Amino acid sequence: MMRIVFRIFADSMNHFIMKNLVKVILFTLTGLLLFASMFQKATHVWDFKKLNGVEVPIPQPSLTFQNCRDGSFQERTEGYLKQNFGFREPLVRLYNQYLWDCYQKTPVGAGILTFGKDGWLYEPWVVADYYQIQFRNYAYDSAQMASMLTEEAHRVLQLQQLLEPYGTRLFVCQVPAKDLICPEHLPENQDKRFDDEPKISARFFNEEKYTQLGVNHLNLEQWFLQMKDTADFPLFPKTGTHWSYYASLFAADTLIRYMEHLGDINMKNIVIGPRTLDKAHNSDDDLESLLNLIRPLPNSQYYYADASIEEDTAAVMPKLITVGDSFWWSISNQIPMNSIFSSSPYWYYNSTIYFDDNYSSVNEVNLAEQLLSADFIMLFYSATQQYKLNNDFTKDALIALCYDPEEIASVRTTLEQIIRSDSSWMEKLKDKAASQYKTLDETVNNEVKWLINNNPGKYFPALNDSLPTKRSRCVDAYFNIDSLTFIEQEVEKVIQQIKGDEKQMQDINQKALKYGKTFEQALYDDALWVVNYKLEQGILQIPSRSRKNSCHGKNQSKI
């Protein structure tokens, strides 16, 4: 009986499958198609070329009753899944290639680049800056922008003057941008909204202001402009936004010459090796790479060369802190910085510090100590980034040099309390935190920072002086480290003298027995007393920090 039932069932199934075979297969394939993304995500069976460019990663949220109830869990999960699903890379490239082939455009709303003439690519803000309307992203009008730039130039001067007595040279390097060097390929200005308004360009305004105030500055942009017609290599690539990889080597050489001049020192020379032509790579096609196409664009060839450092035992190896934008990568990636500088941390947008293949946040370092330990501080921004006023570096630096950490913390705490006690303010910050995928504490901290940087003189009045005289105890502490080292060295000298004198050794032995100390302790205490006595009597003097005067004379052997 069972056999008959099974037979009937099997026959009917067979009949059904044979009749619907194609449809069953197609339906099964539909299921597989729908599950393909999940499968790829879980197994990574296929390895795809990663998408170029960086985006702010959305963290995978953890589920709580509250975030599920208010919908933030769902919102974040959808955001996370948009960045993390199987086949993302080929799918994005597929659509990008379609847009490029059919319409010569990038995805709607991306706004990451603008098409110039003859296939040249530009960043939109670079184009806007050429037409002098970029400032509208930072100020209501040109007068406000001029005021902001003027204040910042004064802060740079304050910082330069404040650091100079400590042997730290601060200077500005104005980095060339593609719009000014290659304007012939720029698209026409589509944005006519501000045609009737006065305009302002940070690059020209700053150049004039720095000259007028006496701020140390090197205008590489003007230098690039001058050599544009004579250079036998492209200064800017067609499909990249940064200076050409090859041109940046010459910019680095000029920078070193400038530092030698500013510090009156001798530094090592860069040797640029023989150049070779190759298809664009590294930053020379960084804009094209953002297109994330399947097929690369037909590309121009560019020069590339190896850079080495000439051996020079008499040369000085200063410490350089670079606070700047991404143009520095071309230099730091090509030149062995450790052969020229004793240390060369890169404070990227005054946010992340890159050093020796490591990185940390600027918030994690003792700012005053870092500033004082440097021989050179370079503010290194291209034209479009100059509206960002050095990313608040000058404000942070002035505050750190003039105020004790406790005073800074006190201001921050007071502001934080004001914010947290205002419910409507906190509501706005909650929304902001959610939209930016940040914690509320982080957002409140940023708000405090914004308040301070928006009006630093209000909270730290010493900054209103033309040259602040107030000093943080961190400054003294930094130099006291040298004093202590000096004292320790002198104590050691006295100990050695005592050890060479048998009578004194017996005296120390007796003192140790009398006061219940070990012999070593009694010996040290006695030597320390001698050194302190000499200091009080003026027989000994703590010298100023030895490193600090080193840059004033040429051919110093050691920094």
DSSP state letters, 366-414: -HHHHHHH-SEEEEEEEGGGGGGGGGGHHHHHHHHHHS-HHHHHHHHHH
CB of 97 vs another protein, minimal distance in Å? 10
Residue 281 corresponds to which tokens in the numbers above?
């790579």
Stretch that binds another protein, among 88-96, 160-168, 175-183, 478-486 (CB under 8 A): 88-96
320: helix, coil or strand?
Answer: strand
**Minimum distance from residue 551 beta carbon to another protein (Å):** 31
Among 1, 45, 47, 69, binds another protein (CB under 8 A): 69
Residue range at the interface with another protein (CB under 8 A); choices 92-100, 176-184, 295-303, 476-484: 92-100
Question: Binders of another protein among 271-290, rule CB under 8 A?
Answer: 283, 286-287, 289-290
Please name the residues in contact with 341: beta carbons below 8 A apart, sequence gap of 6 or more. Answer: 317, 318, 319, 320
**Of these, 49, 82, 117, 458, which contacts another protein (CB under 8 A)?**
82
Whichever of 6 and 95 has its CB closer to another protein, that residue is 95
Dihedral sign for Cα atoms in the order 492, 497, 503, 504 = negative
Residues 436-455 that bind another protein (CB under 8 A): none
Shortest CA distance to 383 belongs to which of 542, 157, 187, 225?
Answer: 225
CA distance 373 to 370: 5
**Smallest distance, another protein to C-beta of residue 255, A:** 20
Query: How many residues of this chain interact with another protein, rule: CB under 8 A?
Result: 74
Residue 7 sits at φ, ψ, to 5 deg, of -60, -45
Give the residue, chosen from 6, 9, 95, 515, that forms a contact with another protein under the rule CB under 8 A. 95
Binding to another protein (CB under 8 A) within 137-196 occurs at: 137, 190-191, 193
Closer to another protein at the Cβ: 99 or 528? 99
CB of 9 to another protein, least distance (A): 16
102-141 binders of another protein (CB under 8 A): 102-105, 107-112, 124-125, 128, 133-134, 136-137
Kindly state the smallest distance separating residue 394's Cβ from another protein, in Å: 15
Q: Which residue, 51 or 305, is less far from another protein as judged by CB?
A: 51
Q: How far apart are CA 206 and CA 216, in angstroms?
A: 12
Enter the tokens of residue 453: 């940087």
Which residues in 48-67 contact another protein (CB under 8 A)? 51-56
Q: Of 191 and 488, which has the nearer Cβ to another protein?
A: 191
Residues 6+ apart with CB under 8 A from 1: none
From the CB of 30, what's the least distance to another protein, in Å?
A: 5
- Work out how close the CB of 332 gets to another protein at its nearest, in angstroms, rounded to a whole number: 13
In the complex with another protein, the residue whose CB is nearer, 128 or 320, is 128
Q: Which is nearer to another protein, 188 or 502 (CB)?
A: 188
246 versus 329: smaller Cβ distance to another protein: 329
> Which tokens belong to 389?
């006023």
Considering only residues 311 to 370 of the shown chain, the ones binding another protein according to CB under 8 A are: 326, 329, 348-352
Residue 405, classified by CB atoms within 10 Å of its CB into exposed (0-12), middle (13-18) or buried (19+), is middle
**Interactions with another protein, residue window 366-405 (CB under 8 A):** 391
Q: How far apart are CA 220 and CA 254, in angstroms?
A: 8
Written as six digits, the tokens of 279 are 């298809």
Query: Within positions 14 to 43, which residues make up the interface with another protein, using CB under 8 A?
Result: 20, 22-24, 26-27, 29-31, 33-35, 37-38
DSSP state, residue 139: -
Total number of residues shown for the chain: 559
Stretch that binds another protein, among 47-55, 502-510, 515-523, 542-550 (CB under 8 A): 47-55
Binding track over 289-308 against another protein, x by CB under 8 A: xx-x----------------
N-terminal to C-terminal alpha carbon distance within the chain: 100
With contacts defined by CB under 8 A, name the span among 80-88, 395-403, 439-447, 479-487 that binds another protein: 80-88
Cβ-based nearer residue to another protein, 120 or 166: 120
Residue 296 contacts by C-beta under 8 Å, 6 or more apart in sequence? Answer: 288
With beta carbons less than 8 A apart as the criterion, state whether 305 and 262 touch: no
The region of 78-86, 150-158, 308-316, 371-379 touching another protein under the rule CB under 8 A is 78-86
Task: Report whether 52 contacts 283 (CB < 8 A).
Answer: no
Nearer Cβ to another protein, position 303 or 347? Answer: 347
Near another protein by CB under 8 A: residue from 92, 305, 307, 434? 92
Binding status of residue 241 toward another protein by CB under 8 A: yes
Residue 376 amino acid letter:
F
Give dist(CA 531, CA 488) in Å, integer: 9
- Give, as ranges, the residues between 461 and 500 that touch another protein (CB under 8 A): none
Nearer to another protein, 160 or 322 (CB): 322
Residues in 418-437 that interact with another protein by CB under 8 A: none
- Which residue do the tokens 């600090």 mark? 548
3-state class (DSSP) for residue 354 = strand
Binding map of another protein across residues 512-531, x = CB under 8 A, - = no contact: --------------------
- In the complex with another protein, the residue whose CB is nearer, 138 or 223, is 138
Q: Provide the Cα torsion 402, 404, 405, 410; round to 10°.
A: -100
Query: Least distance in Å: CB of 316 to another protein?
Result: 31
Residue found by looking up tokens 């040279």 in the block: 169
Exposure of 496 by Cβ count < 10 A (0-12 exposed, 13-18 middle, 19+ buried)?
Answer: exposed
Contacts (Cβ under 8 Å, ≥6 apart) of 467? 158, 161, 162
